[in-house]
Amino acid sequence: MQLPDSLHPWRQWLEWFAPEQMPLFGDLLGRLDPILGPLRGQHQGGVPEPDGLGDLQRRGPYERLLSSEWLLADEVPEEFMRRVAVGEHLFLAPQYRSRQANRLIVVLFDAGPLQLGAARLVHLALLILLARRAQEAGAELRWGILQEAPRLHELDTSAQLKRLLSARTYHTVSDAHWQAWCAWLAEQPDQAGECWVVGQRLPRTDSQSCTHRVQIHRSLEGQSLSFELQGVTTRRVSLPIPEEGSAVRLLSGQFEAEVVAAAPAVKGTVPRVALNLPPVISSAGTHVALKLLDEDGMVVIKLPTEHQKKSLQVRRNLWSSGRVPLAATFSGRNLGAVLSQHDWLWFWKVPGLRAVEKPPREQLQLPPGTARLLPVVWLNGGRTGRLFLLDTQGHLAYWEAASGESAPRSPPAKTRRWADNVLGLAKVANETMAYVRSDGGRLYAHSVGTEGAASCGHVIGNAEGVSQVLFAASRLWHRSFGGCALLSVDNGKQRWQIISATGCSMPSERVDLAHGWKGLGLLRQYRGDPYSLVLIGPDQQTVALHSEGQQRVLFTAASDIVKISFCPMSGLVAALTSARELLVYSVPQRTLRLQIFCNQVAAKHKEGADA
C-alpha cells in the first residue's frame, strides 16, 4: 500500500485498513501525535542495589574515608582537623545499579454510552499511536475495557481492533470499575510505566496509578470532538467529526485492506444454537446446519442469494429426546444424522437405514460425549446407498441401505468394516469420497464411488509423524488421485505437506505456519490453479488463506470463534463465535454469504435462559 511520508511511522498498523480510509486516520493521527508528549515511565521502587565503588566525593560517612586521610590523623593531626573544618576530606562513593523505567504501557477504554460513535474512532487512532510509542521505546502495549473484568489484550492483528469496537455497554464508568482495575494491576508481576485512562466523566484517579487521563466529548455545537489530555500538563485539541459513510463502515468493523462485502441483508431469526458442535455445510454450498441448544435437533439455514428479498429460510429438525448426535451430513438439501442412545445407533432421516445395535468397541469406537462430530459421508448409488463413518481410532465402518421399491422390504443394516488405520475421510466429488490409510509405515490415498469399490492405493508419503489429512475436492478423484495435505507438528508449529494431484507440475509443497496458526481446509478451485490452505489464526478470530507463499486475511470475527468448518466441495467456511454469531464465507468468491446471530430464545425457554 502506498502511504504518504507523514503516515509511514504507523504503516505497520495502517495496512489493516482500506486505502479509502487513510485520509480519515491520517487526519486523526496527525492531530493527536504532537500532544502526546514523550514516554515518561515510572521508575521501579525499592532500595537501590550497590554495584561496587564509583567516584570520590567531599562528603560521606567516615567509614568510607580514604586510607590516606586516616594517615594524616596519625602523622599530622592538626592538618587532619583543618581538613575537617573546611570540608576537604575525600570519601569513596558507592556505585548503584541503574534502574530503568517500567516498559509497559496500559491503556483502558471507556466502552459506555458516552463514547459511542465518533469517539470510538478516536480510540482506534489513540491505540495505534500508543502502539508506535511502545515500539519506539522497546516497551509493550496492553489494553483493556474499564467496564469489563480486568483482562489485558495485545494489539497484534486487526481482530483486536474489532474486539475493541465490539466492546459496548450501557453502563458508564464508576469508581468500582476503576478500583477493581487498580487492585488487579497492583497484583501483576509487571508494573505499568504508563497507565492511560480514556473516556468521559472518568472516576477520580491519582498520579501514581494513572499517569494520563484522556477526556473525549462532543463540543456544544456538536460539530467537533474535544480531546483533552491530562498528564504532567493539560493539552487540548479539537477534532472534526468524520464523514458519516466512512465512520459507519469503520465502526461496523469493515476496515481490512481487503474489505469484505457485507452479507445479503435478509430478515429472519435463528433459534439459539449450541456452541459445542461445529456447523455442517452441504456439499452444494446452499445450506448450513447447527445443533439446537434448547431442543433435541438441528436448525437448517438456506443461504440467501445476493439480491434476495424474501425472509431467511430457517427450519427446525427435531429428533426423539435423549438421542445424542455422533455425525451429521447433507444429502442434497436434506440433513441426516447418526444418533446414539444407550446400546443403539439411530439413522435419523437417512433413507433406507434403520436402527442397529452398537458394534463392539474394537470394531467402532464412538465418543461418549458430544464434543465433536465424527467424519461421515453418504453416497447414494441409486438402488443402493452407503453411509461411511470414521471413528476416533481410525476404524472406517459403513452401512448399506436399499433405496427405491425394495427399501421397505430390506433387512436391517449391519455395521461393516471397510478399513483400519484411517487418518482422514471427506467427500471430494459428486458421489465420491476419499480417505487416507496407513499401512506398513506408508500412507495410501483411496477413493470410493457409487459402485462401492475402493480405488488402488496411491502412495503419498511416510506415515511417521502425520496426524491429520486435508482433502482437496476434484473430479480427478473419480479415476486417480486428487490432492491432499498432510499435517505434522514441529516445535509446536504446524507443518503441512501438500501432495498435488496426478499430473501436476509441482508434485509436493511444504508450508510452515507461524506459531498458533492452524490449517482448516485445502482448496483448489480450477485445474491448473495452485493449492490454497484455509487457516485460522492464534487469536481465534482471524481466518486467512495461504497460497503461493503468501498469506492474506479473508475475514475477522468480532468475538472468538469457538467452532469452525470448511467444505472442500463448496469452498465455504462456516464460523460460530462465542456470541452465537454465524459467519458463512465463500473462499472462491471472496464474499460473506451470511452473517446472523443464532440466539432467538423460544418463549418456553426465556425464563432463566443464558442468552
Grid cell, residue 373, equals: 462430530
If residue 579 lies in a helix (H) or strand (E), which one and from where to where?
A: none
Is 558 within 8 Å of 272 (Cβ atoms)? no
Nearest to 316 by CA among 296, 287, 332: 296
Residues forming a β-bridge with 378: 387
Is 283 within 8 Å of 567 (Cβ atoms)? yes
Grid cell, residue 234, equals: 493539560
How many distinct helices (H) and strands (E) make up the chain?
8, 36
Nearest to 522 by CA among 573, 577, 446: 573
Residue type, 460: I
| Cα 402 from Cα 388, distance rounded (Å) | 15
What is the per-residue pLDDT for 403? Answer: 62
CA dihedral over 133, 136, 137, 143, signed as positive or negative: positive
Grid cell, residue 481, equals: 488421485
| Number of C-beta neighbours around residue 65 at 10 A | 15
Q: Encode 328-379 in three state secondary structure.
A: EEEECCEEEEEEEECCEEEEECCCCCCCEECCCCCCCCCCCCCCCCCCEEEE
What is the per-residue pLDDT for 460? Answer: 92
In which region does residue 552 sit, left (phi positive, over 0), alpha (psi from -120 to 50) or beta (all else)? beta
| Cα 200 from Cα 219, distance rounded (Å) | 13
The DSSP secondary-structure symbol of 102 reads P
| Cα 498 from Cα 187, distance rounded (Å) | 47
Phi (first) and psi of residue 272, to 5 degrees: -65, 130
CA 174 → CA 113, 132, 325, 609, distances in Å?
13, 30, 46, 28
3-state secondary structure (DSSP) of residue 80: helix
| Cα 207 from Cα 233, distance rounded (Å) | 12
What is the per-residue pLDDT for 261? Answer: 58
CA 511 → CA 262, 309, 484, 485, distances in Å?
31, 43, 13, 10
The DSSP secondary-structure symbol of 501 reads P
Chain centroid to Cα 53, Å, comes to 53
3-state secondary structure (DSSP) of residue 551: strand
| Cα 176 from Cα 31, distance rounded (Å) | 33
Please name the residue that has the C-alpha cell 467424519.
375
| Cα 123 from Cα 584, distance rounded (Å) | 29
Grid cell, residue 142, equals: 496492553
Per-run averaged pLDDT (10 residues), the chain, 611 residues? 75 80 82 83 50 71 82 84 85 63 85 90 93 89 93 84 84 93 90 92 90 90 87 87 75 60 74 95 95 94 86 92 93 91 91 89 80 89 85 93 58 84 94 94 92 86 94 90 93 92 74 92 80 92 87 86 95 95 92 91 54 32
| Number of C-beta neighbours around residue 560 at 10 A | 13
Radius of gyration (C-alpha) of the chain in whole angstroms: 33
What is the per-residue pLDDT for 94? Answer: 75
What is the per-residue pLDDT for 24? Answer: 81
| Number of C-beta neighbours around residue 5 at 10 A | 6
Chain centroid to Cα 155, Å, comes to 13
Our CA angle for 589, 592, 598, nearest 5°, is: 145
3-state secondary structure (DSSP) of residue 175: helix
| Cα 265 from Cα 374, distance rounded (Å) | 33
CA dihedral over 462, 468, 473, 475, signed as positive or negative: positive
| Cα 130 from Cα 13, distance rounded (Å) | 11
| Cα 18 from Cα 259, distance rounded (Å) | 7
What is the per-residue pLDDT for 357? Answer: 92
Q: Round to the nearest angstrom and report the end-to-end CA distance of the chain.
A: 42
Grid cell, residue 498, equals: 501438500
Phi (first) and psi of residue 365, to 5 degrees: -95, 110
| Cα 418 from Cα 247, distance rounded (Å) | 58
pTM: 0.63
Is 422 within 8 Å of 444 (Cβ atoms)? no
Residues forming a β-bridge with 365: none
Grid cell, residue 297, equals: 435437533
What is the per-residue pLDDT for 99? Answer: 46
List the chain domain ranges: 5-36+100-251, 340-420
**What one-character-per-residue DSSP string does 381-414 give?**
-SSEEEEEEE-TTS-EEEEEEE-GGGTTTSPPP-
Nearest to 522 by CA among 475, 561, 470: 470
What is the per-residue pLDDT for 423? Answer: 96
**What one-character-per-residue DSSP string does 426-489 give?**
EEEETTEEEEEEEETTEEEEEEE-TT--BPPPEEEEE-TT--EEEE---GGGGTS---EEEEEE
| Cα 568 from Cα 524, distance rounded (Å) | 8
